[in-house]
Structure 1
Amino acid sequence: MRDPRLQGLYAVTDGRLVGEPLLAAVQAALVGGVRIVQYRDKTGEIHRRQDEAARLVKLCHERGALLLINDDSELALAVGADGVHLGQRDTPLSVAREQLGPDKLIGVSCNNRLDRALAAQQAGADYVAFGRFFASTTKPDAPPAELALIEQARQQLDLPLAAIGGITPDNAPQLHTAGADMLAVVNALFSQDDIETAARRLSRCFD
């Protein structure tokens, strides 16, 4: 069953932001209309990551938004996050589901591969993500995806779809029109001087 919460602007945190700058940036993004936040921090700083994740859960839930953790089921459980997001080299979906139980959300990156998305759906994913669709500064070497991939996925999958990679206010509407339920962004939010205004501009295609 499609989770109605899995739609709208989806912010992936910038690993260069830590501590209070991170909290302030996410707060501004939420005020601007972000509905899902993925906490992505690949460092080994366990105590800082747990503190930040716990504070982000509180912040997101106060505004009715979801907080997902990038590839760390133990952290997600420890802080009461809503679930995890898994990349292709991360924890297998079956392992994450066993750790998290049936009620937590699990999203899976599928790059530009519809077959991976179909397999993820069969394995019990709650949503899948495709990209990069445009030139990306976060992952410039990621394999490119065509807009037609979203259209094909919309026809063949029952899951919510996320699009990522170089999304801006100018190109966001075409991805949403093609069938993307969520638009995942990093630099289009967290590299901007006014994060709240950037979020509002990106969210307009969902109005």
Structure 2
Amino acid sequence: MKFPHRGLYAITQPDHKSIGQVLQDVEAALKGGATAIQYRDKNPLNAEQLAGQLLKICHAYQAPLLINDSVELALAIGADGVHLGRDDGDIAEARRQLGSNAIIGVSCYNDVEKAQSAVIAGADYVAFGRFFTSGSKPLAAPADIATLQRAKQLLNVPIVAIGGILPENGGQLLAAGADLLAVIGGIFDYEPETAARAYQALFNSFQAESSHV
């Protein structure tokens, strides 16, 4: 399973939800057009069971499932890859454990040089953010639109933007160079399929505008 070159990257919101509710929400997001899913769970109760079921749903929709923070969990369930934050270990070690076909993404915050180093080390995509006020990451340092513009000029891997992104504000990030928009609350604080379709419409309108430039 390959990481998509563009589209909505939905990140799970499992707090205070049953496994069944999380699965239902994620499937709704996939129906609405999400192109990749990241399992992020800061207070997991039964991570292996939930992640394993998420993987089946994602593959039914030809979407990859990545695991946030945990190479071990990705390995245990055969996930498509892992997303590494600041303190989540080494790209080369993750690659050694997960294999050459695994997708490895890296959080680069507001640091293009970090992103360049990550790509050299083997990252398949890089993520920047937060770009807007975020309920999921309220203390995260802000990132600049100019960072996306510079990254687009220098990097040849998909660029992900994250942090408080809504259909109303995501267009400026796409215009600056983001290929994918990573979203938690903008999908799962609402009816997920309907919300995902709103982002899909944003991508479609941006693509239409770009083709006329």
Please classify the TM superposition score into its range, dividing by the shorter chain length: over 0.9
> Cα 1:13–1:44, aligned 2, differ >3 Å: closer, same or farther?
closer
Q: Residue 78 of structure 1 aligns with which residue?
A: 76
Q: Deviations over 1:131-161 (max 9, x none)?
A: 0011111111111111111110000111110
Tell me what 2:210 maps to. none
The aligned residue for residue 39 of structure 1 is: 39
Aligned residues: 202
Runs of 4+ aligned structure 1 residues displaced above 4 Å come to none
Q: Does 1:196 align with 2:199?
A: no
- In 2, distance between residues paired with 1:23 and 1:4? 21
Q: Does 1:206 align with 2:193?
A: no
1:100 counterpart residue number: 98
CA distance in 1, matches of 2:186, 2:28: 13
1:124-203 correspondence to structure 2 within 5 Å:
124-192=122-190, 194-203=191-200
- Alpha-carbon separation, structure 2, partners of 1:93 and 1:21: 32
The alignment partner of 1:89 has SS state of coil
Aligned-residue CA RMSD in angstroms?
A: 1.3
User: What stretches of structure 1 of length at least 5 have no aligned partner?
Assistant: none
State the TM-score, normalized to the length of structure 1.
Answer: 0.93
Q: State the partner residue of 1:12.
A: 11
Q: Percent identity?
A: 50
1:59: Cα distance to partner? Answer: 0.2
In structure 2, distance between residues paired with 1:153 and 1:117: 8
Aligned amino acid, residue 56 of structure 1: L
Q: Is the 8 A contact 2:3 2:103 kept in 1?
A: no
- Whether the 8 Å CA contact 1:6–1:36 is kept in 2: the answer is no
Question: Is the alpha carbon distance of 1:145 and 1:53 closer, same or farther for their aligned partners in structure 2, counting shifts above 3 Å?
Answer: same
Q: Which amino acid aligns with 1:190?
A: F
- The 8 Å contact of residues 136 and 165 in structure 1, kept in 2 or not, is answered as yes
Q: TM-score, normalised by structure 2?
A: 0.91
- Counterpart of 2:209 in structure 1 is none
Q: CA deviation at 1:43?
A: 3.1
